[in-house]
Structure 1
Amino acid sequence: MNTQTRQKIYLSPPEVSESDIAAVTAAMKSGWVAPVGPAIRSFEEAFEGYMGGGHAVALSSGTAALHLSLQLSGVGPGDEVFCSTLTFAASANAIIYCGARPVFIDSDEKSWNMDPNVLADALQKRAREGRLPAAVELVHAYGQSADIDPILELCHKYGIPLIEDAAEAIGATYKGKAAGGFGNFGTFSFNGNKLITTSGGGMLWTEHKDDAERARYLATQARLPDRGHLHEETGYNYRLSNLLAALGESQLSRLQERIEMRHEVFKAYVDGLADIPGVSFMPEVEYGQSTRWLSCLLIDETQSAVTRNQLIDRLQENNIESRPIWRPLHKQPVFDGSEFYGSGVSERLAGHGISLPSGGEIIGDDQSYIIASICNAFGL
């Protein structure tokens, strides 16, 4: 295979259409190029429609949405928050922003998300000790919903707010309802590598209008309606710009199309790599639909002569981007000393898992090249 002239194939690059460009151009021509403007509320309303109701607040990032959700849940200095461990560092960073401490909960094998049984044991133990967490932050990883019902039931039982980090899971469903729409708050990311993008950006969702208004207030530097600049508490510069909101609404209109393309990519990997011993894929749970944001596979090194890292190196040599599954946060140096509940499922997944290029633009020749590169690495 000639790798010298082939352009690099990225993991999940942004997909921008002519209609996206037209939407941003129209916003620019409207004169609303400042951080305020009608496209922001229009995007929020479109997102509320996608969620089936509630109240949406467009923000500068998914991390900003998490930070505000934690604050609005009453999390503060000295508190602890239970958090999924198999996720990106931003999930726990937002807890640190509040002066709180993350406590990490292991994954289950069937969804790769927070294990409800581990959470139940941890909460029972903490209740006996009189030190329940201030919140539970549930991450829906790799475009797949966690098993929400038992987790929600536990949060109700112990009177703990649930925050859903759906940064990777816009479009995923749980029993027919959008992931991110079950807890006290749902948070979403529109980073450049997500299914829909606003370059950088995010959304906070809640059923409660008062919480949404409070989030907008805090996200706009906590500025009070006054003739001068009046502030009675600390706020943040967290609002999404009008131009990026126009892009977001345009992208949201094609969400289902993009999910279908990701499923097509995933199916091609499953079919094309079916004969490789020791290779399996992230399962899809029976209670919901995954978006297959990233196509993830596991390598059983007892059945394979190729390790996960060797495959990543070989793909890199062929100008193909891939990366390991998230390093569990309880194994990250920055969170060293944080408490962890579980049996190491997340560590096993991280040690053998790899994410492959998954954007819809690879369908066809590029994906055939990726599959051939993987087969070649395994000697097939």
Structure 2
Amino acid sequence: MKKEKIWLSPPHMGGNELKYIQNAFDTNWISQYGANIDEFENSLETYLGNNSYVTALSSGTAAIHLALRLLNVEEGDFVICQSFTFVATANPILYLKAIPVFVDSESQTWNMCPDALEEAIKYCIQQGKKPKAIITVSLYGMPFKVDEILRISKEYEIPIVEDSAEALGSKYKGQPCGTFGDISVISFNGNKIITTGGGGILISRNASVKSRALFLATQAKDKEEFYSHSEIGYNYRIDNIAAGIGRGQLETLEEKITQRRKNHDFYQGMVKNSDHIELFSAPNSDFFSNYWLNTIVLKNNYSKEKLRSKFSQNNIETRYLWKPMHLQPLYKGYLFFGNNLCGTLFEAGLCLPSGTNLTDESRARISEVLENEIH
């Protein structure tokens, strides 16, 4: 008999989601307005602190697109983007017909390399166009090198779009991810640490930017009694039912962070003496990762396909690391700065099951596979 599937990062309900959904039905707010949206945003603003203004949207991708609009990115502008990420980080650059400039990772956090970033900026300036924005990512929940990247951002006066899609609950020097960028983004897609089914938030630093984001996210309707539109807008607002799911999920966020980090401890114990497997971990105490996904790199010519096949045979889902943007067919020919560390990581790495509902039985099955492969 085939064993039950162990998924990589499945949704995990907290208990009160149905209460808030029922409230939406009871009050007949089945739309992009309602108390769930307001309360979800307010709770996230309280959680994030640091003068955060939250606009809840239909996806993290929508939030990145709006962030670039808010920074006045236009056709032909350079936008610097971390290459080692999911395609949703980069695609909004093309939505606006801007030009992505991809930057490699550094080895400690797998995020944007400060040296390669500065090289990219200098190149763009030499071409007569200073980049309009820098999109940096906290990959798999690991904070980027905040101090170094912010220093470069301020020196060259280029705003940061902080893609913390995977990093809700992560912190750098005690400050939450999602509060470092001029505009920041978090995702609530189905596989994230908490979910609204689909959804995301845009985090701005003042109320006027939030007001502008909300205007653009609701079709950019002018202040008239009739429907008047002077500029292009989008149907990007979250709905009241999805926000209700988010309210229930948010109540158990700290428990979910604790469980993800316990998963990391489990994997660390499994592979600490391995000759073939290295677990991606925070470089020092400044970096607090939610370990949304636990990831490994295979060493000494050990085949990731071999390990992935072993897990698959046991009905355990694993996944390749993100294929870097500069290696994607869609982005072939765009500029890339760095030594292709992210390409090397892609070739050698895997994501392991990391859900907050991972059971002792599931861990035992994972252990059985790893124990046969770690030496």
TM-score (normalizing by structure 2): 0.96
Q: How does 1:43-122 map to 2 (within 5 A)?
A: 43-52=40-49, 53-122=51-120
CA distance in 2, matches of 1:143, 1:219: 27
Deviations for 1:41-80, whole angstroms, at most 9, x for unmatched residues?
1111111111103210000000000000001011111111
Q: Which runs of 5+ in 2 are unaligned?
A: none
Deviations for 1:254-286, whole angstroms, at most 9, x for unmatched residues?
211101100111111111233432211112032
**Does the 8 Å CA contact 2:81/2:90 hold for their aligned counterparts?**
yes
Partner of 1:296: 295
| Larger displacement relative to structure 2 (220-229 or 88-97) | 220-229
Q: Which runs of 5+ in 1 are unaligned?
A: none
Kindly tell me: are residues 16 and 248 of structure 1, through their superposed partners in 2, closer, same or farther at Cα, counting changes over 3 Å?
A: same
**Does the 8 Å CA contact 2:101/2:120 hold for their aligned counterparts?**
no
Q: How does 1:33-52 map to 2 (within 5 A)?
A: 33-52=30-49
CA distance in 2, matches of 1:252, 1:237: 24
1:200 positional shift: 0.1
CA distance in 2, matches of 1:187, 1:82: 16
| Larger displacement relative to structure 2 (119-128 or 191-200) | 119-128
Q: How does 1:136-175 map to 2 (within 5 A)?
A: 136-175=134-173
2:369 aligned residue (367, 370, 373): 373
1:320 positional shift: 0.7
Deviations for 1:203-261, whole angstroms, at most 9, x for unmatched residues?
00011211110110010011123222111111100000011111112211221110110
**Structure 1 runs of 4+ off > 6 angstroms?**
none
**Does the 8 Å CA contact 1:276/1:375 hold for their aligned counterparts?**
no
**One-letter amino acid matched to 1:82:** I
Q: CA RMSD in A?
A: 1.4
CA distance in 2, matches of 1:158, 1:351: 34
**Does the 8 Å CA contact 1:265/1:363 hold for their aligned counterparts?**
no
2:317 aligned residue (316, 321, 343): 321
CA distance in 2, matches of 1:222, 1:78: 24
1:313 positional shift: 1.7
Q: Once the two structures are aligned, what percentage of the paired residues are identical?
A: 37
Kindly tell me: are residues 293 and 379 of structure 1, through their superposed partners in 2, closer, same or farther at Cα, counting changes over 3 Å?
A: closer
**Does the 8 Å CA contact 2:66/2:213 hold for their aligned counterparts?**
yes
Partner of 2:13: 16
Partner of 2:214: 216
User: Which secondary structure state, in structure 2, belongs to the residue aligned with residue 25 of structure 1?
Assistant: helix
Partner of 1:285: 283
Q: Are 1:188 and 2:186 an aligned pair?
A: yes
Q: Are 1:25 and 2:22 an aligned pair?
A: yes
Deviations for 1:64-110, whole angstroms, at most 9, x for unmatched residues?
00000001011111111100011000001011111111111000100
**Does the 8 Å CA contact 2:295/2:351 hold for their aligned counterparts?**
yes
1:192 positional shift: 0.3
User: Which secondary structure state, in structure 2, belongs to the residue aligned with residue 204 of structure 1?
Assistant: strand
CA distance in 1, matches of 2:248, 2:74: 37
| Larger displacement relative to structure 2 (157-166 or 226-235) | 226-235
Q: How does 1:249-264 map to 2 (within 5 A)?
A: 249-264=247-262
**One-letter amino acid matched to 1:328:** P
